[in-house]
Amino acid sequence: MLYTVALDQLLLLDIETTPLTSSLDQLPAELQALWLEKNAKTLPDSENPAADYFERAGLTAEFGRIVCISVGFFFTENGQYQLRIKSFYGDDEREILAGFLDTVSRFHQKMQRFQFAGHNIREFDIPYICRRAIINGLALPAPLQLHQLKPWEQPLLDTLQIWRFGDFRNYTSLKLLAAVLGIPTPKDDIDGSQVGKVYWEEKNLRRIAEYCQKDVLTVGQLLLRFKGLPLMEKNGVEVVS
């Protein structure tokens, strides 16, 4: 499978997001009202919109923000695929996005068959990045000018879409997919739903970045598995600053 995909032309990615503020009452008044309006429509039976905000706002680009983007790219050494991973993270979302977008531009210039790769990036990570970039006043590089492209022309290799095999009713998490395909993953002490708490209460950005990097590694292993290639050993992964 994926016989025509060149792994060394891929930029693997994963993002971690949080609510814009530590609590609903810290939002500007206009955004508070708009969140309450949105929440009333999506969760009409909710009795605690403030708790809903902290748990769910990070999933929306209008009420959330990016605190980490991890990227990875394949290279070969001694005939084996290896993965190099780098993270952009911090409190300054604009700086995170600018660093990532610069990397995208440089990779796109070097790679004739450039594609993004990740799990559920078509429906979450890539749209979120584009929206937050526009909100932060940043220009989108050519590979992210997706509104000009037909769906099959977009440079997106999504492991969720691959696993769906045309079944759009099904959602399989990265963790579940790795488990059923026999890909070992680290036993983490957090998951995506806890990122907001780790960011706002613990102020532990490094912990979030390490979690994000592990998802990029898992995507890399999935792609090797889909292509029928050996999985990477621990010494085949390099994290760079």
Answer yes or no: is 46 within a domain.
Answer: no
d(CA 50, CA 34): 13
Question: For residues 212, 215, 220 and 223, what is the CA-based torsion angle, rounded to 10 degrees?
Answer: -140
Which pLDDT score is estimated for 187? 63
Length of the chain: 241
Cβ burial of 201 (10 Å; 0-12, 13-18, 19+) is exposed
Answer yes or no: is 203 within a domain.
Answer: yes
Answer yes or no: is 169 within a domain.
Answer: yes
| pTM of the entire predicted model | 0.94
Domain residue limits at 97? 7-20+63-228
At 208, which CATH number?
3.30.420.10
Answer yes or no: is 26 within a domain.
Answer: no
pLDDT averaged per 10 residues in sequence order, the chain, 241 residues: 91 97 95 93 87 94 97 91 96 98 95 94 97 98 89 92 89 94 80 88 94 96 95 89 81
How far CA 205 is from CA of 68, 170, 212, in Å, comes to 8, 32, 11
CB 239 within 8 A of CB 73: no
CB 126 within 8 A of CB 66: no
d(CA 133, CA 98): 8
Q: How many CB atoms lie within 10 A of CB 234?
A: 7
Answer yes or no: is 235 within a domain.
Answer: no
Which pLDDT score is estimated for 74? 96
Which pLDDT score is estimated for 1? 85
Of the candidates 90, 29, 16, 27, the one whose C-alpha atom is nearest the C-alpha of residue 53 is 27
Which pLDDT score is estimated for 219? 97
Q: Would you call 14 helix, strand, or coil by DSSP?
A: strand
The number of domains in the chain is 1
Cα torsion 57, 16, 90, 131: sign = negative
Answer yes or no: is 42 within a domain.
Answer: no
Answer yes or no: is 1 within a domain.
Answer: no
Q: Are strands 64-77 and 10-19 parallel, antiparallel or unpaired?
A: antiparallel
Answer yes or no: is 236 within a domain.
Answer: no
Which pLDDT score is estimated for 236? 86
